[in-house]
Amino acid sequence: MDSFMDFYFEEVFSTMDRDSLNMRFKRRELVEYFNTVIAGCAKGQNKSDEVSCKNFVQSALRYHNSCKSSNGDVCLMGKYHNVLYIAMKLAFDWSLQDNGTVAALLDEMYACEKTFERIFLGAIFGTSAPYFLAGWKSDFMDKEENVHALVYFLDHATNANLEYNEGDKTYRFIDVPLESCGQASPVRVVIQMGAAEMLMILLRFGARISSEAVSTNPVESILDRLKEYNRVYPYELVTCLKLTLRAVPRVNFTVDRNVFKELELPEDYNYQRKVALEKYGEILEDHLVPTSRCGLKPVELKHMCRCIIREMLWKNFELPFGIAKLPIPVSLQRYLDLFDD
């Protein structure tokens, strides 16, 4: 496989136009070609599909790095970068399990783009929407395959303990901002969309709810939207609220103390309670937010334990699959994994 790939890149790939892989159908044609090559090499060399696919991905990475190094460590983009997305699709198609190789592929993609939106956007919006948002089309066939691919790469990124530094911030794969969505995190975009199924996936893998320095946290954004429906609440949005409340100890409302300055309230005054009652009173009356999750009553001990245990699992890159390793009943495992409340 290595000698074939070296020959291909030197004699065939080098003659292709720089923009030859910008169109999705061209990338898919090349993916189909290499699918046949991988299957043939595995059979001809009496090796497993895993080994043949791994060799291809590593060859693609070497070629990309070689071209990048020859250009002052700056990616040439065009076909020289799109080869990474050929490798990405093949790794998914063959379910490549070599964690180090898949992690190296993700690292290389981030080094060039500083985002993973070509993995996330198709799963969040479907196959067509990314073209209008970012000018490209998803490499996966449909939304279902996009979601499966996202879970595949989430699993590998978690197992490889991947983290990425940008300025003074450190992101995990699941929280890297989406450039085409105003640098918002994937979980914030999903919450804004009210996509409950996608939110469940991200929360189970440990997406951070309040990792951004914005005016309001994502839970408040859901509550503000619910207020617009005059107490006839859409199911998807309510489901997003309930899932989010399972993943955070309690709602921390944004408090502007200058608004209450004239009231001369004591220093230890419960501003959270006042905001909850005055701003979201109807939602509380309709029991969409438990009083124990918004500062009106103490948080339940069981829920606090869940949050602390999940935080420890997150720190050790064990969400969500590390939950099954805990010596606790299945019912508690489901509770920790956010399936039950």
Q: Is the pLDDT of residue 257 over 90?
A: no
Residue 211's pLDDT is 46
Query: pLDDT of 85-94, one tens digit each?
Result: 999 999 999 9
Residue 213's pLDDT is 44
**Residue position matching structure tokens 């996608």:** 198
Give percent of the chain with pLDDT exceeding 90: 64
Q: 1, exposed or middle or buried, with CB in 10 Å at 0-12, 13-18, 19+? A: buried
SS (H, E, C) the chain: CHHHHHHHHHHHHHHCCCCCCCCHHHHHHHHHHHHHHHHHHHHHCCCCHHHHHHHHHHHHHHHHHHHHHCCCCCCCCCHHHHHHHHHHHHHHHCCCCCHHHHHHHHHHHHHHHCCCHHHHHHHHHCCCHHHHHHCCCCCCCCHHHHHHHHHHHHHHHHHCCCEEEECCEEEEHHHCCEHHHCCECHHHHHHHHCCHHHHHHHHHCCCCCCCCCCCCCHHHHHHHHHHCCCCCCCHHHHHHHHHHHHHCCCCCCCCCHHHHHHHCCCCCCCHHHHHHHHHCHHHHHCCCCCHHHCCCCCCCHHHHHHHHHHHHHHHCCCCCHHHHHCCCCHHHHHHHCCCCC
Please, which residues bridge with residue 165 across strands? 170
pLDDT-derived band at 251, boundaries 50, 70, 90: confident
Give percent of the chain with pLDDT exceeding 70: 90
Distance between CA atoms of 301 and 62, rounded to whole angstroms?
A: 52
Q: Is the pLDDT of residue 127 over 90?
A: no
Query: pLDDT of 260-306, one tens digit each?
Result: 556 656 655 666 777 788 888 899 999 999 999 988 889 999 999 99
Residue 256's pLDDT is 66
Boundaries of every domain in the chain = 1-112, 114-183, 218-336
Residue 185's pLDDT is 92
User: What value does the mean pLDDT take over residues 218-245?
Assistant: 92
Residue 216's pLDDT is 59
Residue 14's pLDDT is 87
Question: What phi and psi, each to the nearest 5 degrees, are found at residue 103?
Answer: -65, -40
Query: pLDDT of 28-73, one tens digit each?
Result: 999 999 999 999 888 888 888 899 999 999 999 999 999 999 999 9
Residue 262's pLDDT is 60
Residue 267's pLDDT is 59
For the chain, the C-alpha Rg in angstroms (whole number) is 24
Residue 90 contacts residue 98 (beta carbons within 8 Å)? no
Q: How large is the angle between the packed helices 49-69 and 99-113, nearest 10 degrees?
A: 30
User: What value does the mean pLDDT take over residues 224-249?
Assistant: 93
Residue 328 contacts residue 309 (beta carbons within 8 Å)? no
Instruction: Report CA 76 to chain centroid distance, whole Å.
Output: 26
Query: pLDDT of 69-82, one tens digit each?
Result: 999 999 989 999 99
Q: How many CB atoms lie within 10 A of CB 123?
A: 27
Residue 327's pLDDT is 95
Q: Which of 177, 147, 155, 174 is nearest to 163 (CA)?
A: 174
Residue 334's pLDDT is 97
Residue 134's pLDDT is 66
* Residues contacting 245, CB < 8 A, separation 6+: 219, 251, 289, 290, 293, 341
* Average pLDDT score over the chain: 89
What does DSSP say about strands 163-166 and 169-172: parallel, antiparallel, or unpaired? Answer: antiparallel
Q: Output the furthest CA–CA distance in the chain (Å, rounded).
A: 82
